[in-house]
Structure 1
């Protein structure tokens, strides 16, 4: 099959999602039409992690993050031209749209080009983004309008699917998945008994990930020498991470990220919403206990009391961190369950098999 992926932004978790599909569906040919956010991650740095034999990249030059009638119209026209050319070359068996901007413009472009075999994966419901209701209402309207253009909405977690269904939008669920390999967990990289209790997160430093809450939690521990906080990533809200016990690493290679997660004691997510976080799944695969803010996406990963816990505010998170710190044996047991859960429910082989069947059905 020839599968066209339309991606904006081509960075972070969405790039990891597309990469996993391309790597695991090697018998299919993938054409990736992508935007560029150099301030997050250059596309050249992402492309090098893709296989070379079954993928082609096409730059979507007009695509950009913010909503703008003029710029989005230009992006729509460009996307229609790209799809028309690919269709004329018989290079379109299925179109897979990733994220809300691609989902809206992509479904409209496919409708205009008479392409009906279309899948849209939000990777995080955009109408949960803001604390301002008017903005969320606007995103809800865009999602409803986009669904009228056609295509099948495929959410990456059950709670995200339910959020779409509450809007009256038909949606199904295929869990995100990652490669699960026992050999990834190396005992010589796990935390040393004498080391600080390291709490880590890996994400863009943006509003969705709630760096202000992460900072509030870390600030409480600033006078406790035995605790340290690490944020792997970068972003426009970096200035909110002011606590002196927070280390911001910037963007690292995947092996470096995995090594840092493996050397940590606890994975912390303060996100306002998720699709299904690849970074948290990496933590599960490395047998880490997770402490996640109660939100869409996160609540599909935590089995309370078995592989971690959830919280709703900084006070709850602080209390639970102390509980984990004082119970190292419990951390180890929960970590083992995380590894088992990842293999059972979030294995990339199952994810890609389900998407392959869906590409054929549509």
Structure 2
């Protein structure tokens, strides 16, 4: 099959998703059409993909809504796809590509061959005004009239989409390869609580900081944030170590030496960083948002406010054996639901169903 992937944002979790998916399906021909207007596009990214992947630049694509530029981006995408012979599948990634791509695929008569994966759909964003979120909802509804199957990254993202009256939605859980590093056994009285990701509104560093402040008088509790971003200044509690962006091996070492993964996210599709933590057996404490709530079977480890998060951490402090039990549970849930080969196989089956 010749599978065309279209994405405006060639960075972050969506980029990692595409690397893993295409590498896991090496017998198919993949063409990646990608936006070039993001500063955080990884350097030398092509070496991360198999040789069965080729690339086409989408020079006019950009993240924000700008009608004139979006019309130019739509026309450029139309011309790019029109020149590609024998397209079997069009797979659109994230909201901007999903909006413009569904219009283009309709114009080309390819709607029945089109898949759209939102990777945390735009109207879940809480870093924009309610008015703008309503515009995002309208845009998603409008684009859905042009066809294409929506494939959410998690069941809760699927449900959030369907709540807006949008149909033809299914879901395939995100999946990753388990980290090859082993979680270290903690024989001390200290507990390290870690989070990984961009220090941005989505990840809610203020809440992470407020939770850490509740343990400021306990020298045995340390918080670590692996990542950097525009809201780094909100991580002011003296018991937080913010590493900035670090090498992959260093990051994995931090995870291996941690005891609990804490997510304070406001919204997600299905977070790959939490999956990585679960793959090595880190117990997780997660904010109760779309994406996060799919990752735990015991909802007692989800929280809606600071008080509940602090209560869960204190429960772990008083019941160290629970850390061992939940470590095993994290691995069990990961292996059952979120392995890369399972995700790739389900996408392959979906591709085949649309190919025939």
Which ranges in structure 2 are unaligned for 5 or more consecutive residues?
none
Count, aligned residues: 351
* CA-CA distance at 1:255 after TM superposition: 3.3
Secondary structure (helix, strand or coil) at the match of 2:341 reads helix
- The match for 1:321 is 313
Secondary structure (helix, strand or coil) at the match of 1:48 reads helix
Give the direction of change, closer, same or farther, for the CA distance of 1:247–1:45 in structure 2 (3 Å limit): farther
* CA-CA distance at 1:197 after TM superposition: 1.9
- The match for 1:256 is 250
- The match for 1:68 is 66
Larger mean Cα displacement after TM superposition, 295-304 or 128-137? 128-137
Residue pairs, 1:13-52, within 5 angstroms: 13-36=13-36, 38-39=38-39, 41-51=40-50
- The match for 1:242 is 236
CA contact 2:224–2:240 (8 Å) conserved in 1 = yes
Deviations 1:66-124 (Å, cap 9, x if unpaired)? 111122222212211211222xx33x211111111111111112222322211001111
- The match for 2:77 is 79
Secondary structure (helix, strand or coil) at the match of 2:330 reads helix
Deviations 1:156-213 (Å, cap 9, x if unpaired)? 11111111111111210111111247xx2425xx154337422111122222221221
| TM-score, normalised with respect to structure 2 | 0.92
Which ranges in structure 1 are unaligned for 5 or more consecutive residues?
none
CA contact 1:15–1:46 (8 Å) conserved in 2 = no
Q: Distance in 2 between matches of 1:122 and 1:47?
A: 23
CA contact 2:14–2:119 (8 Å) conserved in 1 = yes
Give the direction of change, closer, same or farther, for the CA distance of 1:225–1:47 in structure 2 (3 Å limit): farther
Give the direction of change, closer, same or farther, for the CA distance of 1:260–1:38 in structure 2 (3 Å limit): farther
Q: Distance in 2 between matches of 1:150 and 1:254?
A: 39
Aligned-residue Cα RMSD (Å) equals 2.0
Say which of 328, 332, 349 aligns to 1:336: 328
Q: Distance in 2 between matches of 1:243 and 1:301?
A: 28
Are 2:156 and 1:164 equivalent residues in the alignment?
no
Q: Distance in 1 between matches of 2:4 and 2:245?
A: 28
Secondary structure (helix, strand or coil) at the match of 1:247 reads strand
CA contact 1:12–1:204 (8 Å) conserved in 2 = no
- The match for 2:212 is 218
- The match for 2:260 is 266
- The match for 1:292 is 286
Residue pairs, 1:41-120, within 5 angstroms: 41-51=40-50, 53-86=51-84, 89-90=85-86, 92-116=87-111, 117-120=113-116
* CA-CA distance at 1:225 after TM superposition: 2.2
Secondary structure (helix, strand or coil) at the match of 1:288 reads coil
Q: Distance in 1 between matches of 2:32 and 2:230?
A: 26
Secondary structure (helix, strand or coil) at the match of 2:265 reads coil
Give the direction of change, closer, same or farther, for the CA distance of 1:33–1:247 in structure 2 (3 Å limit): farther
- The match for 1:303 is 297
CA contact 1:103–1:121 (8 Å) conserved in 2 = yes
Larger mean Cα displacement after TM superposition, 160-169 or 29-38? 29-38
Secondary structure (helix, strand or coil) at the match of 1:44 reads coil
* CA-CA distance at 1:37 after TM superposition: 6.1
Deviations 1:286-316 (Å, cap 9, x if unpaired)? 11100000011111111217xx711111121
Larger mean Cα displacement after TM superposition, 10-19 or 253-262? 253-262
Secondary structure (helix, strand or coil) at the match of 2:123 reads helix
Deviations 1:102-158 (Å, cap 9, x if unpaired)? 111111122223222110011112212127322221111011011111110001111
CA contact 2:93–2:119 (8 Å) conserved in 1 = yes
* CA-CA distance at 1:22 after TM superposition: 0.7
CA contact 2:195–2:262 (8 Å) conserved in 1 = yes
Q: Distance in 1 between matches of 2:194 and 2:37?
A: 25
